[in-house]
Amino acid sequence: MNDTLYVSPLAEITTLGDDKIAMSVVGRRFTVEDKVGMLKTILDQAGQGVRLAALTESMADSFPPEAVEAAVTALVNTRVLVRDDARAGGDATHQHLQHRRELDALIPRDQLAAYDRANWLLVLAGEGACADALAEALAQMNVPLQRIGRDGELPDTGDKRALLLVCSDFEDFASFRAMNAKAVERGLASLYLGIDWSTVQCGPMVMPKATACYECYFHRVRSTRKFVAEFDVRSKPENILYHALPSRLAIQFGVAEASRLVLQYLSGTLDNLQHSVFSEIDSLTGETHRSRVLRLPRCACCGNASTARPVGTVFQQSLLRRRA
Note the residues at the interface with Zn ion (CB under 5 A). 213, 215-216, 299, 301-302
Burial of 24 (0-12, 13-18, 19+ CB in 10 A): middle
Q: In whole angstroms, how close is the CB of 315 to Zn ion at the nearest point?
A: 28
Using the minimum distance from each CB to Zn ion, give the nearer residue, 138 or 216.
216
Using the minimum distance from each CB to Zn ion, give the nearer residue, 297 or 312.
297
Q: In whole angstroms, how close is the CB of 201 to Zn ion at the nearest point?
A: 17
User: Three-state SS across 137-171?
Assistant: HHHHCCCCEEEECCCCCCCCCCCCEEEEEEEECCC
Q: In whole angstroms, how close is the CB of 173 to Zn ion at the nearest point?
A: 14
Task: For Cα atoms 88, 92, 96, give the angle at the middle one, nearest 5 degrees.
Answer: 150
Q: In whole angstroms, how close is the CB of 302 to Zn ion at the nearest point?
A: 3
Write the DSSP assignment of 12-54 as a string of letters.
EEEEETTTEEEEEETTEEEEEE-TTSHHHHHHHHHTT-EEHHH
Q: In whole angstroms, how close is the CB of 219 to Zn ion at the nearest point?
A: 8
Using the minimum distance from each CB to Zn ion, give the nearer residue, 263 or 301.
301
Name the 3-class secondary structure at 5: strand
Alpha-carbon distance of 103 to 99, in angstroms, equals 6
What is the amino acid identity at position 168?
Answer: S
H helix or E strand, kind and range, residue 281: strand 276-282
Alpha-carbon distance of 175 to 190, in angstroms, equals 13
* 12: β partners: 24
Q: In whole angstroms, how close is the CB of 294 to Zn ion at the nearest point?
A: 10
Using the minimum distance from each CB to Zn ion, give the nearer residue, 8 or 190.
190
Using the minimum distance from each CB to Zn ion, give the nearer residue, 51 or 275.
275
Question: What is the number of the residue whose Cβ is closest to Zn ion?
Answer: 299
Using the minimum distance from each CB to Zn ion, give the nearer residue, 5 or 302.
302
